[in-house]
Amino acid sequence: MKKEVKDLYMYLLGALIVIGFFTILIVVFKTEIPTSNSSIANIIIGALVAKFGDVVGYFFGSSKSSADQHEAANKAAESLANNTVSKTTEQIDTKIN
C-alpha cells in the first residue's frame, strides 16, 4: 500500500474517532441514558475516550515524532543506497572502458 493512501486512511480514521468522541459526548450530556443501557453506554464511552487519547497522543505526542524520525532515517538510507549503487555503476563503467 502506498504511503499516501495509508496516510489518508490514518487521517480519516483519526477524524472519525475524534468526531465520534465529541458526538457521543454531546449525546451523553443532552440525553438521559436508560439504566438498562447504561453499562453498554459506559463501555462505548470508555472505548472512545481511550481511542481519542491515542489519536491525540499520536498526532501531537512522541509517536508522531518517532514516525517522522523513522521516515527521515528511511530517506537517508535510501539516498545512501542510491549513491552507492550509482558510484559502483560508474566504477564498473570506468573499468570496462
Here the contacts of 42-45 (C-beta below 8 Å, separation 24 or greater) are none
> Mind listing the pLDDT tens digit for each residue in 2-56?
777 777 888 888 888 888 888 888 888 898 888 898 888 888 888 888 888 888 8
Provide the grid cell at 34.
Answer: 436508560
Mean pLDDT within 74-89:
64
Q: How many whole angstroms separate alpha carbon 83 and alpha carbon 87? A: 6
> Mind listing the pLDDT tens digit for each residue in 49-79?
888 888 888 777 766 666 667 677 767 667 7
For residues 28-64, b (16+ Cβ closer than 10 Å) or e, as one string? eeeeeeeeeeeeeeeeebeebeebbeebeeeeeeeee
Q: What is the pTM of this model?
A: 0.52
